[in-house]
Chains A and B, each alone.
Chain A
Amino acid sequence: MGFRFSSLRRRDWIRVALRIYLGAAVLYILAPLAIVMINSLNATAYSLFPPPSLTTRWYAHLFQLPEFGSAIRVSLEIAAATAALALLIGSPAAFVLTRRGLRWADGWRALLTAPIVIPQIVFGLAMFIFFLGLGLNGTVVSIVLTHLVVALPFVVIVTGAAFLDLDPSLEEAALDLGARVPQVVWHVVLPQIRLPVLAAGVFAFIISFDQLETTLFLVRPGVTTLPVQMFLYMETFQDPTMAALSTLLILGVGVGLLAFDVAVHRRSGPLLRRIGPRSS
């Protein structure tokens, strides 16, 4: 009995140590987001900690800078267009790749997912020179097409994982019963993969909204995405106006993420686990 008792205590000790480590790690992960929110109310422009007094003037200052409002609008438009195009082009490709009998399937897959491994700043520079030659640089179209290439591999991977779970005999049965291919896609395939396709679309949207290095060379005044606008602002100023904008973004993303997770969780288990490392 004595042995049992001591091993139990040792187990508790390890458990406590793991919990403390977990707490420290979560603190490290959330600290930069938390300090941004605190600093958005800091009365000093040079980010003194702890803030000597609080103010809301950075928020007021933010709304006097029209370039950020325009950047948010441009970013949302580009992200929506990218997500729509990536789904339209990426999910049929994923479907074809998962069905047997395709020649060189591994080669096609490698080609479609290659944009993941290229350093983004290299790709951004290549696209800048490419669109410069076409006279399209500084246009929304050039940015959407660039983001499309970056988002496409993720759509192919996420929807591909979903297509792998499908039972091909259902499609065959529908075809045998005389359904035409578009009918099969609409009535048999799509209802089964609605959720992963939605997830892939959200993924593509977020990826586009977050692009910086690929877009850095493609913007011009008036057609600038939000991350690039923030980056350019931060290279010159480091006052808490950035903190005010970041706080609004963090809150917006947090609310959106929670709402999405809750909505998906209610339907079929947490999304984060469905598209996490396990199901790939």
Chain B
Amino acid sequence: MPSVAVVAVLFVYPLLHFFRFSFDTLHEGRLIRGFSLDAYRAFAGDAYYWLNVWTTLKLAAVVTLVCMVVGYPLAYAIWSVRSPRARRWVSLAVMSPLVVSVVVRAYGWIVLLGRQGAVNYALQHAGLTHGPLPLINNFTGVAIATVHVLLPFMVFPLLGALDRVDPALKEAAADLGAPRWRIFQTVTWPLTAHGLAAGAQLVFPLALSAYVTPQLLGGGRVLVLSTLIYQTTIDVNWPIATVASIALLMLTTGAILILLQITRRSGRARGLQVQ
């Protein structure tokens, strides 16, 4: 199959060739090829690099949790729209940011969240705050914009899960006199909670490796592994860039494996393929 050749030559080989650079050393700005663990040692022994790892994990965890908390009621609200026409428009609206470049969305959030932006304007005019809140060039701004980028990846698996709930089950529960909350608690929620795991499986790894949003909304103050990889590449420190890449790859792979285990254990592994 030519496809296998393409993936082998253009994916597997470049990555292996690239990982090889993690064993090189940088001496007075020159790359010295060889087999040393200096780059790994430098990475593990420097608090600055650990800060990058920590911020990466914190951002991914916060973004995934917010996406779950915001996404479940959102999916439920879309699902409860009865008219197919209205539902189609709402789905289209929720999906529409996906086809707009992340750069455009980052720009939109910079304008919205800036000192003189619409959000601070609204907050001050509503009397909620007295001065402008610092909403960009910090973790808050990066988190708000990253949630925006990744929310559809949480909502669509949840919508799929809600769609598969057999309406007859809810009707049966209602006929037997169960109040609405109880129907939700005993029928809808147990049958759809696995959608949250499926969504997290998409959102968490994507949040770990996000680059554009932390770079543009963080204003150089939100240091994650992806921004570190970019910076060290520009500085031609390829050994450290490679070790940081391997660290990021291990985090995303580890997260995917753990989340896969969780969804398997919940016994509902259907429909969880990556979209």
Give the B-binding residues of A (Cβ under 8 A): 7, 10-11, 14-15, 18-19, 21-22, 25-26, 28-33, 35-36, 39, 46-50, 89-90, 92-93, 96, 108, 111-123, 125-130, 133, 145-146, 148-149, 152-153, 156-157, 206, 210, 212-213, 216-217, 226-227, 230-231, 234-235, 238, 242-243, 246, 249-250, 253-254, 257, 261, 270, 272, 276-278, 280
In the complex, what residues of A have CB within 8 A of residue B110's CB? 47, 238
Contact A49 B97 (CB under 8 A): no
Complex alpha-carbon distance, A92 and B1, angstroms: 8
Contact A121 B11 (CB under 8 A): no
Complex alpha-carbon distance, A93 and B2, angstroms: 8
Contact A121 B274 (CB under 8 A): no
Complex alpha-carbon distance, A257 and B104, angstroms: 17
Could you give 26 example pairs across A and B, Cβ below 8 Å?
Answer: A14-B180, A18-B76, A22-B90, A29-B148, A32-B104, A32-B107, A33-B96, A35-B112, A36-B108, A47-B117, A50-B118, A96-B1, A108-B1, A117-B205, A118-B252, A121-B209, A121-B248, A146-B10, A156-B3, A213-B211, A216-B230, A253-B99, A272-B91, A276-B156, A276-B159, A277-B156
Taking the closest CB of chain B, its distance from the CB of A168, in whole angstroms, is: 19
In the complex, what residues of B have CB within 8 A of residue A152's CB? 3, 6-7
Q: Mark B50-70, 1 if CB is under 8 A from A, else 0.
A: 000000000000000000001
Q: Which residue of B lies closest to A7 (CB)?
A: B179
Contact B6 A254 (CB under 8 A): no
Q: Mark B64-91, 1 if CB is under 8 A from A, else 0.
A: 0000001001101110110000001011
Taking the closest CB of chain A, its distance from the CB of B196, in whole angstroms, is: 13
Contact B111 A39 (CB under 8 A): yes
Chain B interface, >50% SS class: helix
Using A47-B117, A213-B211 as known contacts, say yes or no to A119 and B77 having CB atoms under 8 A apart. no
Rank and list the top 5 A-B pairs by shortest CB-CB distance, nearest first: A32-B108, A277-B160, A119-B209, A126-B18, A130-B14
Taking the closest CB of chain B, its distance from the CB of A59, in whole angstroms, is: 16
Complex alpha-carbon distance, A227 and B211, angstroms: 13
Complex alpha-carbon distance, A31 and B180, angstroms: 33
Contact A127 B14 (CB under 8 A): yes
Contact A111 B226 (CB under 8 A): no
Selected from A26, A30, A119, A234, the residue in CB contact (under 8 A) with B107 is: A234
Q: Which residue of B lies closest to A280 (CB)?
A: B273
Taking the closest CB of chain A, its distance from the CB of B143, in whole angstroms, is: 13
Q: Is B157 an interface residue (CB 8 A)?
A: yes
Selected from A25, A30, A113, A270, the residue in CB contact (under 8 A) with B77 is: A25
Q: Mark B112-131, 1 if CB is under 8 A from A, else 0.
A: 10101110010000000000
Contact A49 B104 (CB under 8 A): no
In the complex, what residues of A have CB within 8 A of residue B275's CB? 157, 276-277, 280
Q: Is B95 an interface residue (CB 8 A)?
A: yes
Chain A interface, >50% SS class: helix
Contact A35 B111 (CB under 8 A): yes
In the complex, what residues of B have CB within 8 A of residue A96's CB? 1
Q: Is B163 an interface residue (CB 8 A)?
A: yes
Complex alpha-carbon distance, A153 and B100, angstroms: 21
Contact A93 B245 (CB under 8 A): no
Contact A18 B112 (CB under 8 A): no
Taking the closest CB of chain A, its distance from the CB of B93, in whole angstroms, is: 5
Taking the closest CB of chain B, its distance from the CB of A83, in whole angstroms, is: 15
Selected from B88, B157, B241, the residue in CB contact (under 8 A) with A270 is: B88
Complex alpha-carbon distance, A11 and B118, angstroms: 35
Q: Which residue of A lies closest to B99 (CB)?
A: A253
In the complex, what residues of A have CB within 8 A of residue B102's CB? 210, 212, 227
Selected from A89, A108, A122, A243, the residue in CB contact (under 8 A) with B111 is: A243
Using A47-B117, A126-B14 as known contacts, say yes or no to A31 and B77 having CB atoms under 8 A apart. no
Contact B96 A257 (CB under 8 A): yes
Contact A111 B4 (CB under 8 A): yes
In the complex, what residues of A have CB within 8 A of residue B2's CB? 89, 92-93
Contact B212 A212 (CB under 8 A): yes
In the complex, what residues of B have CB within 8 A of residue A122's CB? 15, 209, 229, 245, 248-249
Contact A148 B148 (CB under 8 A): no
Selected from A108, A113, A261, the residue in CB contact (under 8 A) with B4 is: A108
In the complex, what residues of B have CB within 8 A of residue A254's CB? 96
Selected from B21, B90, B95, B273, the residue in CB contact (under 8 A) with A129 is: B21
Q: Is B105 an interface residue (CB 8 A)?
A: yes
